[in-house]
Chain A
Amino acid sequence: DTAVSQTPKYLVTQMGNDKSIKCEQNLGHDTMYWYKQDSKKFLKIMFSYNNKELIINETVPNRFSPKSPDKAHLNLHINSLELGDSAVYFCASSQDPGPGEKLFFGSGTQLSVL
């Protein structure tokens, strides 16, 4: 059973479109994240939710809107896609947010904006 699963694996779309990426974790964790990894492999946090509440919101364009219907799900909706949004988006979860927390990552969604 996959611990953190995200869909789709690949997403190819045109500029200006709206798309969503879904994430689900079956680990019973309270905290979930969205990370963006660019072409140079730089991993940057976008959002963090704890028990469905937003706790970290980095400087991300408001075209990106996360939604957490319950603590096992954290979806990412992106409006008016731009070329610069092309990247790999990773969902992650952890049990105990804090210094030594261990993040479990999903397999990533490769987003290509044409």
Chain B
Amino acid sequence: QVQLVQSGAEVKKPGASVKVSCKASGYTFTAYYIHWVRQAPGQGLEWIGCINPNSGGTKYAQKFQGRVTMTRDTSIRAAYMELSRLRSDDTAVYYCTRESTTMATNWFDPWGQGTLVTVSS
């Protein structure tokens, strides 16, 4: 079955960087964009950006421009999201999710299990 499995929880100090991985299985990895979404404690869902695993092309939310880098390794069917210059308000669960598209719509399914990133001194 289609599955996304993320790396484990991280604790980082302010100013550090974190890199979260997302390993795909059950489908052609290069055929679907991978998006990253985060959720701060008790808050809603916030889109961070996406990567085209085929070309490596990326698009980031303006809020994260300059601090986020998304990459992929097609040999192991993995996508990565690195966030730098971490602040306490970056504490959140980070999700990867696969975008499916048709001629007239798109949606996110499935989602990874989430990776808790805690930023604390």
| B partners with A | no
* Residues of chain B whose beta carbon lies under 8 Å from any beta carbon of chain A: none
